[in-house]
Each structure stands twice: as structure tokens, then as C-alpha cells.
């Protein structure tokens, strides 16, 4: 099952299909995630937007 050609219905059809789909996804690049989070922390955007962006980055890891 290819990640690019898998439909949502196929993925949701069973726990095994979901597990196969998730295992086919690339891993998180820890260094890249840390660099992105550090960059978001230094951007000059409003405090509330910055907090939401950092929360989003953390939730994606």
C-alpha cells in the first residue's frame, strides 16, 4: 500500500490498514524539528500567534 495512492476510505477500513499506512510515513527529523521550533521562537510575530505556532510545532512531533 503506497502512501501517495492510499485513499482515506482504504486507510480507515481497518486497524491493520491504518497501522500499515502509518508505518509507511517518513519519520520525524528531530534536528529539523528542533531548528524549526527555534526559528519560530525568534520570529517577530504577535505573542498569541507565536504561542499557537509553537504549540502546533510541538503537537506535530
6-60 pLDDT, tens per residue?
A: 688 888 888 888 888 888 888 888 898 888 888 877 767 678 888 888 899 899 8
**Residue 19 counted as domain residue:** yes
If one counts the domains in the chain, the total is 1
Q: Are 28 and 41 in contact, with CB atoms under 8 Å apart?
A: no
**Residue 44 counted as domain residue:** yes
**Residue 1 counted as domain residue:** no
pTM above 0.95, yes or no: no
**Residue 41 counted as domain residue:** yes
Domain that holds residue 12: 8-60
DSSP 48-60: HHHHHHHHHHHHH
Amino acid at each position: 500500500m503506497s502512501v501517495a495512492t492510499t485513499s482515506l476510505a482504504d486507510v480507515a477500513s481497518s486497524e491493520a490498514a491504518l497501522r500499515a499506512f502509518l508505518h509507511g510515513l517518513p519519520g520525524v527529523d528531530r534536528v529539523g524539528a528542533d531548528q524549526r521550533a527555534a526559528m519560530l521562537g525568534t520570529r517577530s510575530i504577535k505573542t498569541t500567534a507565536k504561542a499557537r505556532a509553537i504549540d502546533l510545532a510541538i503537537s506535530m512531533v
